[in-house]
Amino acid sequence: MELLLLSNSRTHGRPFLEHAAEEVRAFLPGGKPLVFVPYALQDHGGYTATVAEALRPLGIEVVGAHTAADPLELVRDAAAVFVGGGNSFRLLSALERTGLREVIRERVHGGTLRYMGSSAGTNMACPTIRTTNDMPIVQPDSFEALGLVPFQINPHFLDVQPGSTHMGETREQRITEFLEENDVPVLGMREGAWLRVSARAARLGGTTGARLFTRGTDPREIGPDADLSYLLDAAPEFDAAP
């Protein structure tokens, strides 16, 4: 498999995808248009136009999955797909409804389709969307995502801010609650970080690092360029009693 999983597509003060432009350029193949899956936002056309504008300087042509009479056939013929961010519940529901979940999963696992995700699109690469930050604005048939990696990712991970008066749960507390019910690693990727998976190798890219959460151990700080290939051997257990 070839995966590029971004924590975010927008970085404060920088154009769309600009923070990861060189990684994206190296990852996406030339020749065929990139198929963009815009279903995490309501404005499919506007979202696709934003992605096309951002990738045009890299020499990458973009076609929106929503424009095809048969999006399944479009993806079957693609060399790469980019699943954009937005609301994870809305995105998963659309992937279920269109049948794209199964087609993307089959082709990526088969090594014939490169997968790039950002935010909600990165959540889709996990076994489930149970570690998303999003509100369930729609109800998908299940929480089952693509399962391209055998662990969970929490994009846009936020560290505890000293002196904060916020009384709600921190991101770390929410992930700890997830691990009370499920035994599967969770990689909390800060904005500006990404995960590059190639066959049986996984590397943390970007400059901001991540936090790795596993049941029964303290969270670990993961620095940029860390080798995370061992996470590809994870054996997730969901709804696993502690």
Which amino acids are annotated catalytic?
119, 134, 156
Distance (Å, whole) CA 218 – CA 85: 29
Task: Region of 214 please: left (phi>0), alpha (psi -120 to 50) or beta.
Answer: beta
Cβ atoms 145, 129 nearer than 8 A: yes
- According to DSSP, residue 154 is labeled E
Cβ atoms 62, 52 nearer than 8 A: yes
Which whole-number Å values give the CA distances from 109 to 4, 92, 104, 132, 175, in the listed order?
14, 18, 8, 23, 27
Cβ atoms 190, 153 nearer than 8 A: no
Cβ atoms 114, 29 nearer than 8 A: yes
Contacts of 182 (CB under 8 A, 6+ apart): 130, 215, 236, 237, 238, 239, 240
- According to DSSP, residue 132 is labeled -
Distance (Å, whole) CA 220 – CA 210: 8
Distance (Å, whole) CA 207 – CA 213: 19
